[in-house]
């Protein structure tokens, strides 16, 4: 029987036919599409006509379209709805794709044609986007070994194959450790301080596991409320140490050797290609350009943030001493006393705010804001197939009812879904044969589930997370480029967080909050005093928060910005790096690197700094909105025309300057964070 994955989907908008796909379809379908793509590549290389932009660069760009569709479906499922069978398949499919990628990048005849076009680029009349595609295509080969002699190409292939397997293994270990832990409590006295909604969710979790009492897990919606509200310090300690020791327990899921192997292989790969370190290799294709730029950027922010962070830590320590006679503040005390002090200073806590943030209202709110800014309308539809009943599906149209995108939203934790929140795509936007083929975009989050007595009520942090991921989604949905590899979020990594982070700013604005922050029982709009307090408390402990982010960026650079081959002890290395940002006492039982999925599984290696980098951009960009009004059509249009629709078609700094009229200034971020005086 024909495998439906190998054919154009006949579903509405050609969406993924999830319910008709069986796990066993993936491997043969991918093998077949690899063969078809190889035939497309052969057609390019055997073309007797001279190499041109159209018959080589464009032909290569549009090859393997169905392979891209299938693999995006497969790997998105592996993140959002995985099981043992899919994980086993991933271990087979990843090396296949890695090998195939190398077959293309190390194909001499193909590279020869690409190089011919690239060397003639100054004589060709190409658009900016075509120039970018040509540059990206050539570098895709050169940066992956096309200029290497045969023996070194073979070494490179081996490294890439190992890296793809190690990174999968790393992620599986973290997920296995997350799923393996449960804190089972049968005495309600131990859970003093926890909100009713958290207790109800923990009781539901216990019931689902056929146990009495309450169960807490290392998934964020379970873990964070316990760390924030549980008065029982021993319980907080137990959870904190369990969370911090994931993949660091000397068992089958220990990631220490994986970390060392990954960084050594990355270094070896960089050297093979003529770069000093992995960071030098990565940053060549980023706005920052060099490790030196990144390190001085992090050092500058550290210098500004550290005095504030130390002051805040002292304030928090004194408060814990007054409250509960705590002699030494520990990591597991941080969230608890920060929340207590915040309540004391601002009389504001998540439990007061949550009734105003019913998930459905927040979703409608972010949709309304997207409509006000960009003229988009979101129509929920049942005609689009889903991979899980939790998923909501939408058809997105503009003010003239033109079809813009398909949007999937998946909000609640479940066993087969990794922690955290992310945006992804099932199909890129591109233009071909006179048609503008529109994208299929998805956001995946892990928000508190509805319980038997309450709908899903979000913490304010979850509200900003939803806005963040939706900002990425807008970048994907509003894409309007010719080539799929330059479309949507296919931009320099330190630019990709701008659309997501800038949208978070609306969560703090009265005009925006009045749209969606309504009490789920009474419909009452959030009181103005709460809005004021949200704004005031937004920069509460910002110094400590900044220090924490900087410590992650510095840890990342310490693994990738130097030659790591001498590093024997993962924990010891990490501790030395954290010395510069350390506030809490060291905990020998925990290690962050072994569960730092962003850099060892998620593509952020030598790139974690980009969160802070993009914050500079977003603070500067939002000051522009504030100047003209947060729903200014003029500024929104400029942002859409120069950032959201342009993808990676030009150098991001050029796009940014066209939107803003000037380069971004770090002062905007420091002002917003309260680390320097507002002007």
pLDDT for the residue 562: 96
| Average pLDDT of the chain, as a whole number | 95
Q: What are residue 431's DSSP bridge partners?
A: 436
Q: 502 and 391 in one domain?
A: yes
Whole-number Å distance between alpha carbons of 152 and 557: 26
Q: 367 and 490 in one domain?
A: yes
Q: Which of 538, 561, 585 is the last residue of a domain?
A: 538
Q: Can you spell out the DSSP letters for 165-195?
A: HHHHHHHHHHHHHHHH--EEE--GGGGTT--
Q: Is the pTM of this model over 0.85?
A: no
Task: Convert 419-448 into a string of H (helix), E (strand) and C (coil).
Answer: CCCEEEEEECCEEECCEEECCEEEEECCCC
Q: How many percent of the chain have pLDDT more than 70?
A: 100
395, 379 in Cβ contact below 8 A? Answer: yes
> Does 560 have pLDDT greater than 80?
yes
Q: 185 and 141 in one domain?
A: no
Q: 9 and 131 in one domain?
A: yes
Q: Which strand (E) or helix (H) includes residue 500?
A: helix 497-504
Whole-number Å distance between alpha carbons of 316 and 384: 50
Please report whether residue 281 resides in a domain: no
Q: What is the CATH number of the domain that holds 64?
A: 1.20.1050.40
Q: What are residue 457's DSSP bridge partners?
A: 358
Please report whether residue 426 resides in a domain: yes
Please report whether residue 207 resides in a domain: yes
Q: 230 and 110 in one domain?
A: no
pLDDT for the residue 1: 62
pLDDT in tens, 246-288: 999 999 999 999 999 999 999 999 999 999 999 999 999 999 9
Closest C-alpha among 465, 494, 535 to residue 656: 494
Please report whether residue 308 resides in a domain: no
Least confident of 57-61, 100-104, 487-491: 100-104
For the four alpha carbons of 295, 502, 405 and 449, in that order, the dihedral sign comes to positive
612, 602 in Cβ contact below 8 A? Answer: no
- Position 353 confidence tier, pLDDT thresholds 50, 70, 90: very high
pLDDT in tens, 612-668: 998 999 999 999 999 999 999 999 999 999 999 999 999 999 999 999 999 888 888
Please report whether residue 200 resides in a domain: yes
> Does 671 have pLDDT greater than 90?
no
Whole-number Å distance between alpha carbons of 236 and 77: 33
Q: Which of 91, 124, 147 is the last residue of a domain?
A: 147
* Residue appearing with tokens 């509805």: 450
> Does 679 have pLDDT greater than 70?
no
> Does 419 have pLDDT greater than 90?
no
479, 595 in Cβ contact below 8 A? Answer: no
Q: 203 and 100 in one domain?
A: no
For range 137-152, the mean pLDDT:
92
Beta strand segments in 202-271, E: 214-216
Nearby residues of 119 by Cβ (< 8 Å), 6 or more positions away: none
For range 441-446, the mean pLDDT:
97
For range 302-326, the mean pLDDT:
96
Task: At 545, give phi and psi (nearest 5°).
Answer: -65, -40
Structure tokens at 433: 């044969």
Structure tokens at 441: 């975009």
pLDDT in tens, 498-548: 999 999 999 999 999 999 999 999 999 999 899 888 888 888 999 999 999
- Position 443 confidence tier, pLDDT thresholds 50, 70, 90: very high
What's the gap between Cα 94 and its chain centre? 20
> Does 129 have pLDDT greater than 90?
yes
Distances (CA, A) of 372 to 26, 360, 368, 397: 41, 18, 6, 13
pLDDT for the residue 427: 97
547, 302 in Cβ contact below 8 A? Answer: yes
Q: 105 and 193 in one domain?
A: no
Helix axes 610-628, 652-660, angle to 10 degrees: 20
> Does 309 have pLDDT greater than 60?
yes
pLDDT in tens, 40-74: 999 999 999 999 999 999 999 999 999 999 999 99
Residue 585: how many other CB atoms lie within 10 Å? 9
Task: At 408, give phi and psi (nearest 5°).
Answer: -105, 140
Strands 440-444 and 403-410: parallel
Q: Can you spell out the DSSP letters for 547-568?
A: HHHHHHHHHHHHHHSS-GGG--
Q: 226 and 123 in one domain?
A: no
For range 562-591, the mean pLDDT:
97
Q: Which of 244, 274, 292 is the last residue of a domain?
A: 244
Q: In 375-495, where does DSSP find H-type helix?
A: 460-477
Active site residues: 469
Please report whether residue 40 resides in a domain: yes
Strands 377-380 and 392-397: antiparallel
The parent domain of residue 449 ranges over 355-538
For range 231-259, the mean pLDDT:
98
pLDDT for the residue 667: 84
Whole-number Å distance between alpha carbons of 535 and 531: 6
Whole-number Å distance between alpha carbons of 511 and 631: 9
Q: What is the CATH number of the domain that holds 384?
A: 1.10.1370.40
Task: At 42, give phi and psi (nearest 5°).
Answer: -60, -40
Q: 233 and 100 in one domain?
A: no
> 14 burial class (0-12, 13-18, 19+ CB within 10 angstroms)?
middle
For range 8-20, the mean pLDDT:
96
Q: How many percent of the chain have pLDDT more than 90?
A: 89
- Position 678 confidence tier, pLDDT thresholds 50, 70, 90: low
| Count of residues in the chain | 679
Q: 192 and 107 in one domain?
A: no
Please report whether residue 505 resides in a domain: yes
Domain count, the chain: 3
For the four alpha carbons of 517, 520, 523 and 524, in that order, the dihedral sign comes to negative
Q: 523 and 385 in one domain?
A: yes
Please report whether residue 269 resides in a domain: no
Q: 118 and 237 in one domain?
A: no
Distances (CA, A) of 557 to 425, 554, 568, 610: 28, 5, 17, 12
End-to-end C-alpha distance for the chain, whole angstroms: 69
């Amino acid at each position: 029987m024909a495998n439906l994955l190998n054919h154009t989907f006949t579903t509405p908008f050609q969406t993924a036919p999830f319910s008709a796909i069986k796990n066993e379809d993936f491997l043969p379908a991918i093998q077949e599409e690899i063969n078809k793509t190889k035939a497309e590549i052969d057609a390019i290389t055997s073309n007797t006509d001279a190499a041109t932009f159209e018959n080589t660069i464009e032909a290569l760009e549009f090859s393997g379209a169905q392979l891209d569709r299938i693999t995006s479906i497969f790997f998105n499922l592996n993140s959002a709805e995985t099981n043992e069978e899919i994980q086993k398949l991933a271990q087979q499919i990843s090396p296949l794709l890695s090998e195939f990628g190398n077959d293309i990048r190390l194909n001499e005849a193909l590279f020869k044609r690409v190089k011919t076009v690239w060397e003639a680029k100054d004589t060709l009349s190409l658009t900016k986007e075509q120039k970018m595609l040509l540059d990206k295509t050539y570098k895709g080969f050169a940066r992956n070994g096309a200029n290497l002699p045969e023996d070194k190409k073979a070494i490179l292939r081996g490294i890439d194959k190992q890296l793809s397997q190690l990174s999968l293994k790393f992620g599986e270990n973290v997920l296995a450790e997350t799923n393996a832990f449960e804190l089972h409590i049968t005495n309600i006295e131990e859970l003093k301080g926890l909100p009713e909604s958290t207790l109800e969710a923990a009781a539901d979790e216990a019931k689902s596991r056929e146990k009495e009492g309450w169960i807490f897990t290392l998934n964020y919606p379970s873990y964070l409320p316990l760390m924030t509200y549980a008065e029982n310090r021993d319980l907080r300690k137990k959870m904190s140490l369990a969370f911090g020791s994931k993949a660091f327990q000397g068992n089958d899921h220990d990631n220490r050797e994986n970390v060392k192997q990954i960084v050594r292989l990355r270094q070896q790969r960089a050297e093979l290609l003529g770069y000093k370190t992995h960071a030098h290799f990565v940053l060549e294709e980023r706005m920052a350009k060099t490790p030196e730029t990144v390190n001085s950027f992090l050092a500058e922010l550290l210098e500004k943030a550290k005095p504030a962070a130390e002051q805040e830590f002292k304030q928090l320590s004194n408060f814990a001493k007054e409250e509960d006679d705590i002699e030494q503040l520990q990591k597991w005390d941080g969230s608890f006393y920060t929340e207590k002090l915040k309540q004391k200073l601002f009389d504001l806590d998540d439990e007061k705010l949550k009734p105003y943030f019913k998930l459905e209202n927040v979703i409608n709110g972010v949709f309304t804001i997207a409509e006000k800014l960009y003229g988009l309308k979101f129509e929920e539809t049942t005609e689009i197939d889903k991979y899980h009943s939790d998923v909501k599906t939408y058809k997105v149209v503009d003010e003239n009812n033109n079809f813009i995108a398909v949007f999937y939203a998946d909000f609640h934790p479940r066993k087969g879904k990794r922690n955290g929140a992310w945006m992804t795509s099932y199909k890129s936007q591109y233009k071909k044969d006179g048609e503008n083929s529109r994208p299929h975009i998805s956001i995946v989050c892990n928000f508190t589930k509805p319980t038997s007595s309450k709908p899903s009520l979000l913490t304010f942090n979850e509200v900003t997370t939803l806005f963040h991921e939706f900002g990425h989604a807008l970048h994907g949905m509003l894409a309007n480029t010719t080539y799929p590899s330059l479309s949507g979020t296919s931009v320099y990594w330190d630019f990709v967080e701008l659309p997501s982070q800038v949208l978070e700013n609306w969560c703090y604005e009265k005009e925006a909050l009045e749209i969606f922050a309504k009490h789920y029982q009474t419909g009452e709009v959030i009181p103005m005093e709460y809005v004021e307090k949200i704004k005031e408390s937004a920069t509460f402990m910002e110094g400590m928060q900044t220090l924490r982010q900087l410590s992650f960026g510095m840890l990342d650079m310490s693994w990738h910005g130097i030659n790591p081959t001498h590093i024997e002890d993962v924990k010891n290395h990490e501790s030395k790096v954290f010395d510069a940002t350390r506030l809490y006492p060291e905990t020998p039982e925990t290690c962050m690197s072994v569960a730092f999925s962003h850099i060892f599984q998620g593509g952020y290696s030598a790139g974690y700094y980009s969160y802070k980098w993009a914050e500079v951009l977003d603070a500067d960009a939002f000051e522009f909105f504030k100047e003209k009004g947060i729903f200014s059509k003029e500024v929104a249009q400029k942002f859409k025309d120069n950032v959201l629709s342009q993808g990676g078609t030009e150098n991001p700094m050029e796009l940014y300057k066209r939107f803003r009229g000037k380069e971004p200034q770090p002062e905007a971020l420091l002002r917003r964070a309260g680390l320097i005086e507002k002007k």
